[in-house]
Amino acid sequence: MVSGSFLRAQEINPETFCNLWLIILLSSLTLGFNIVILLPLALIPPTRPWAGLGFFISSYVFGLTGWFMGLLLTWILWGGLAVFIGLFIMGVGVVPIGMLATLFNGMWVELGLLVLAVILTFRLRVLGMTLTEKA
């Protein structure tokens, strides 16, 4: 499923396809960093503000991943008009439109990845602010 839609993306523009995989790689490394480094730091009271700052910054990596995936999937599945409408909705509308496009096309893995990116973006941002404020 994932390879099919992303292979169509490669036909559109190989540079965009390469950038998407670089962002997904960065997101995966960031998730590993959060689990291996920042989570243990959050358990030690003197290092909680630094862990909170790390979680807060990493939320932007997941936000960028979700936005770029939403933009690309919207473009591939529904075309330029849907992207224009999504960008018109304060620039972030491509993510929910990408979710709708993947939902209506039965692309469950891609839908799950978009939902995961949105959840990680907002949960890590709140966690980061909470850890930083309580320090």
SS3 sequence, 101-129?
A: HHHHCCCHHHHHHHHHHHHHHHHHHHHHH
Q: Does residue 83 contact residue 48 with C-beta atoms inside 8 Å?
A: no
Phi and psi torsions of 70, nearest 5°: -60, -40
Mean pLDDT score of the chain, rounded to an integer? 87
- Contact at 8 Å (CB) between 74 and 82? yes
Q: What is the DSSP letter of 47?
A: G
pLDDT at residue 10 greater than cutoff 60: no
Neighbouring residues of 30: CB distance < 8 A, sequence distance ≥ 6? 58, 61, 62
Model confidence at 98: pLDDT above 90 = yes
Tokens of residue 45, six digits: 């009271």
Q: Is the pTM of this model over 0.75?
A: yes
Other Cβ atoms within 10 Å of 101 Cβ, number? 25
**pLDDT the model gives residue 89:** 83
Q: How far apart are the first and last CA of the chain?
A: 44
Region 88-98: what's the mean pLDDT? 87
